[in-house]
Structures are given as structure tokens and as C-alpha cells.
Amino acid sequence: MKTIQAYRFALDLNPGRERDVLAHAGAARVAHNWALARVKAVMDQRSAERSYGVPDEQLTPSLSWSLAGLRKAWNAAKPDVAPWWGEVSKEAFNTGLDALARGLKNWTDSRTGKRAGRPVGFPRFKSRRRTTPSVRFTTGAIRIEPDRMHVVLPRLGRLKLHESARKLARRLEAGTARIMSATVRRDGGRWHVSFTVEVERAERVPARPGSVAGVDVGIRHLAVLSTGELVPNPRHLTTARQRLRALGRALSRKTGPDRRTGRRASKRWERAATRLGRAHARVSNLRRDGLHKLTTRIAREHGTVVVENLNVTGMLANRRLAKHIADAGFAEIRRQLAYKTGWNGGRLLVADRWYPSSKTCSACGTVKTKPALSERTYTCEACGLTVDRDRNAALNLAALAAEFDTAGSGPVAARGADQKTRVRGQVAVKREPGTTLVGQTGTVPPQGRTTNRVLTKAH
């Protein structure tokens, strides 16, 4: 099975090598800003000409927004715009132009309705101080040295790694991996190189192919599995809050930059900002490490994993819980499970966001109207079941796998209901093109059991 994955390693750069990398990142920013200014100038000129009644065939020729068109315009202008262009790799300019081409395409697709999700704004100019330095190499000499502690990149030459690259080197030596690109980027005060690799992965089988695990994510417990396992929430951001506050106050006492007056930041301010950035990077690294270990273990052990399609964006609107929800990483858990289950020979089922997993009794199927968030124990008035609320939701998610198998292997859409749970009356079910509805639809039985449960299969 061929797949695309990334290998990320930290770099140890001396001041000279860091200046070289920053020069490449700056060249990418210069090319991006020049091309964006050129695009805006052509757009404004054509708009002004139209306002004067100039026919379309006599308007200023438009500039192609594709990468090839932007690269052609840049190559014609770079001797005047950047007379130093020969000092850096051509891949640096290609990095900035490619970012602009993608941004313009996303903006166009968002306006025309071809791109789902939030509206995408028009690309903006990149600032030297506020933009994360980054450069991407797609051609040239990109390899790992035999000692596995150095990498070679075009024009930058030999760069020292902070950690061994043996995991990637072994695959390259065995012929099961091919490097497609390499990106050098600075995060949290440390430089990293990320290799995008096409990997030939061996077919795997989960340790328990027939096992079904419903995963209910939350704040009190990061994840509650239907098997009864409770994964504690480490709350990395809350733990580091005291140190982050101290570093933030120390930063506020230094002389920082002022764009209005053109004042540059002091050296003390820069050192304080670096310390604060490293503290935030540590929180991010701890969270990433914990989520990867959790999702890898679940994907390797269980043959079927069932999660919910949570509206994380809407949940972040709650100002009391937004910080804790963002710290837990609900969306990242589902994203990682989506590809790791495929790597390990399992499958991921995603329940509809309207499916009442927390309101439904896992024993008899009775549905409550809307239990309060403070009610952490689910008590069923029909059968008398008393169970932890999150465990009850996980059991309900696991039970949906059986209904998916009963419905067959056809395409299944994420539709459990099109509105909030109703205890009695009619349940409106929207039938979308190319979907299969599992179970019975129509009037809800007297005990309130919902039988129109529908899942979507994530590939």
C-alpha cells in the first residue's frame, strides 16, 4: 500500500547556516510579495479601465494566477526586482510563488462555491517579523547522509540534525520510500526539516480484528472507550499556564516593536519573546506526542473504531470551555484516527453530529430530551441503568458498528437527524444523493428509541 507521509527532524544550525536558511526564507517572501503586488495592480488597473467604459478586448492583459504563469512573470522581472537572485536556490522563489498560487485558487474556489468550509480571504502580504520562516525544496540534491545525522539540501548543502534520521534512512536503503520534497521551517525558536515521502507500507492487521471500540472524547477524560478504558486528560496548557503568565508579564516589561513609529524591538524583548515561544512550543509538542501515542494504540489494537462528527468550531464559541476544548484537540484525534486505521488494516466509522449518543440509554435505547452538562452520570428512568455519561456515549457509538454492517458496504452518509433530538412525534430525515439509511424512519416509538442511525465511512 503506497501512501504519502512526513518525517520531521530537528536541526542544529550554527549562526552561519541559520543565516543561509533565513536568506532562502526571505527570498520566498520577496517573490510572494512581488507577485501579489503585481496581481493586485493588474486587477485594479482592469477594474479602473472597465469603469471608464473600455471594451474587454482592450483591457490590460490579465496575469495568469497559476504557478507557471507567476513563475514566468517573476523570471522576467527578477534581474531588476532581486539582483541577488543567483545567491539562493530557485526553489526559494518557487516556494513563495506556489503559496500565492494556492492562496489565489482557494480564494477563487471559495467565492464560486467550489470550496467548502469557511470563506477564504484574499491573500495578504507577508511580513518579515510576523511570518514563520519556511522554504520548500522539490528538486535537486535532497538526501540523508550515511551517518544519518546530516541532510543535504540544494544550495544549503550539509545540515546537521539534532536527532538520528535512521527511521527514514532504513526505508530509503530498502527501497520502500522515495523523498518527494523537503521543507525547512522554524517553529518555537527551533529549526526543523520535514520530508514528504512516498512510502510503501506493508499490509497490517489489528491485534483484535473483530474488536469494536467506540471513542467518546471529552474534557474530564480525554477519551472514554466502550471497552471501559478511561484516558486521562493531561491538560498541558493548564499545567503550563503559570509559567506562560510569568513569561508574558516579563515580555510586556520590555521595549517591543511599534509599527506606527517604526521602533524596533530591543534585544531583551527578542530574548523574552523567544522564551515565551519556546514555552508555547513545548505545550504543543507534549500535546502532539500524547495524541499520537493514543491514536496509534487504538488503531493498532481495534479493527473498528467509531467516533463522533463533533462541531468543534461551534463548541469553541463557549467562552468558558473554549480553552479546554482547544487544549484537548478533539479534531486532531479524529484526523489521526482517519489515516492510522487505514494504515493498520482497520476502519473508522464517523457517527453523525446529531446522533444523540449522550442522551440515549445504551441498554434499552430510551432517549432523554437534553441532560445538563453537569450531569456526569446517566440514569435511565425506563430500565434503571446507572452508568458514567461518557461510558454510555461510547457504548452507543460502538453499537452503531453492527448497524453499519447490517446495512451493507454501500456508501453511507452522515445523517442521523437534521435537528435536535425529539422524544415523541415525527423525526425528519434528509435523504441525500448516493446515501443509504440504516434502520427505520418515521414516528419515534413510545419509549423514545431512535432507530434511524446513520454512519459515514471515512476512507
Q: Return the bridge partners of 351, or none.
A: 308, 455
8 Å CB contact between 227 and 234? no
> Do both 140 and 246 map to the same domain?
no
Residue 184 falls inside a structural domain: yes
Q: In this structure, are 373 and 311 located in the same domain?
A: yes
304 with 427, same domain?
A: yes
Q: Give dist(CA 419, CA 357) in Å, integer.
A: 14
Q: Residue 102: pLDDT above 80?
A: yes
- Same domain for 295 and 173: no
* pLDDT band at residue 389 under the 50/70/90 scheme: confident
Among 91, 187, 352, 390, the active-site one is 390
Q: Would residue 73 count as lying in a domain?
A: no
Domain boundary (157, 173, 200) is at 200
Residues 287 and 181 in one domain: no
Answer whether residue 178 is part of any domain. Answer: yes
Q: Clarify whether 375 is annotated catalytic.
A: no
Whether 417 has a pLDDT exceeding 60, the answer reads: no
**Does 196 lie in the same domain as 213?**
no
Averaged over 358-362, what is the pLDDT?
Answer: 86
Decide if 40 is inside a domain.
no
In a domain, 337, yes or no: yes
Domain that holds residue 323: 209-253+280-458
In a domain, residue 68? The reply is: no
pLDDT, mean of residues 217-240: 92
**Do residues 243 and 375 share a domain?**
yes
Asked if 381 and 441 sit in the same domain, the reply is yes
Give the residue ranges of DSSP H helices in 192-266. 236-239, 241-252
Query: How many separate domains does the chain show?
Result: 2
Which pLDDT value is given to residue 174? 93
Q: Which of 191-195, 229-233, 309-313 has the lowest mean pLDDT?
A: 309-313
pLDDT band for 378, please (50, 70, 90 cuts): confident
Judge whether 308 counts as a catalytic residue.
yes
Is 453 a residue whose pLDDT tops 60?
no
In the prediction, which pLDDT does 297 show?
95
Residue-wise DSSP of 77-96: HHHHH-TTGGGS-HHHHHHH
Compute the distance between CA of residue 302 and CA of residue 325 in angstroms, rounded to an integer. 26
Give a yes or no: residue 444 inside a domain. Answer: yes
CA distance 279 to 273: 10
442 with 331, same domain: the answer is yes
Helix 267-301 vs helix 241-252: crossing angle, to nearest 10? 160
> Which is the catalytic residue, given 98, 308, 327, 388?
308
How long, in residues, is the chain? 459
Give me the percent of the chain exceeding a pLDDT of 70. 88
- Candidates 91, 216, 327, 352; catalytic one: 216
Residue 372 lies in a domain: yes
- Residue 18 designated active-site: no
Out of 149-153, 238-242, 301-305, 368-372, pick the least confident. 368-372
Please indicate, yes or no, whether residues 213 and 348 belong to a single structural domain of this protein.
Answer: yes
The mean per-residue pLDDT over the stretch 325-333 comes to 92
Threshold 0.85, pTM exceeds? no
Are residue 168 and residue 284 in the same domain, yes or no? no
**Residue 288 and residue 152 in one domain:** no
